[in-house]
Amino acid sequence: MFPDPIPPHVYSVDEVIEILCQEGCRAVRLYIEQLESHTPLELLDGLSDLEKQTVLLELHSIMAVYDRCTLEKPDEITD
């Protein structure tokens, strides 16, 4: 008898946000678009709809800080 296959790792909301943010601002903006259009992201497998919404809201919040910095110091931003 074979054991059940190991289930895929399910990331927490905080882990997902950290992983996505490590990809940089442009990637995060793309992820926001994908989340808003309900495009499946493998990284979000196992998260509830509420958790996915939390990820989206948190990414918006994080990017608002970067957008504000871009407006304040446009010459220093390279991403």
Quote the pTM value.
0.74
Domains in the chain: boundaries: 13-73
- Mean model confidence pLDDT for the chain: 82
Instruction: Fill in the amino acid letter for 9.
Output: H
Both structure tokens of 18: 């950290």
On the question of pLDDT at 16 being above 70, the answer is: yes
What is the Cα–Cα distance from 59 to 17, expressed in whole angstroms?
Answer: 7
Closest CA to 79 of 18, 19, 16, 27: 27
pLDDT on residue 46: 85
